[in-house]
Amino acid sequence: MLKRNYDAYSSTDPLSSLLRLHGGDLMDSDGMQIEKRLSHHGSLSCYDHSVAVARMSAALALKLRVRVDMRSMIRGALLHDYFLYDWRDGEEGHNLHGFKHAKRALQNAERDFELTPIARDVIVKHMFPLNITPPRYRETVFVTIADKVCAVREFSISAWMSLPVVRKKHA
């Protein structure tokens, strides 16, 4: 069972309310439930990573007082890694994950949900600059930044927790 670090649902802070308002149906969806079983960065699930990215994107836009389409940004952020496979399984088609998964996420998201052009841009371009097409909307810029910050944070926490001295302490 993967450990949940970001419980957007039980929390009552304003960012969690925003996430529930704009993306509650996505978080409850069968597709995003699959993400709970997919480990992503370290021991964190793809679901928790996606919620963390949506939270950070919203927090950045609010903090910087930049006008955004909050609903599209949050929904795009929640679905930005909606590729729905274990990228470590070595199966055919799952190679070059970093380069390919944004397109796969968009295909899956378009199949399962209605998307605005902004949400589509967020999903398919969140790997910029690894995927070279630049963001078209400011919402995509926020999600792209939040994704990188969250990934570094999650890998760092995971590396720290795997140190023998820390593992022993939490055993």
Q: Which residues of the shown chain bind Fe ion in the complex (CB under 5 A)?
A: 81, 147
Min separation Cβ 90 and Fe ion, Å: 19
Indicate the angle between helix axes 70-78 and 138-161, nearest 10 degrees. Answer: 40
Q: Is the dihedral of CA 116, 97, 82, 126 positive or negative?
A: negative
Min separation Cβ 83 and Fe ion, Å: 8
Min separation Cβ 119 and Fe ion, Å: 15
Query: Closer CB to Fe ion, residue 48 or residue 81?
Result: 81
Query: Closer CB to Fe ion, residue 65 or residue 105?
Result: 105
Distance CA 35, CA 89 (A): 15
Query: Closer CB to Fe ion, residue 81 or residue 139?
Result: 81
Min separation Cβ 56 and Fe ion, Å: 11
Distance CA 130, CA 111 (A): 25
Could you give phi then psi for residue 114, rounded to 5 degrees?
A: -80, 130
Query: Closer CB to Fe ion, residue 93 or residue 164?
Result: 93
Min separation Cβ 113 and Fe ion, Å: 17
Q: Are 55 and 8 in contact (CB under 8 A)?
A: yes
Contacts 24+ apart (CB under 8 A), 149-152: 149/56, 150/41, 150/49, 150/52, 150/53, 150/56, 151/41, 151/49
Beta carbons within 10 angstroms of residue 60's beta carbon: 18
Query: Closer CB to Fe ion, residue 69 or residue 81?
Result: 81
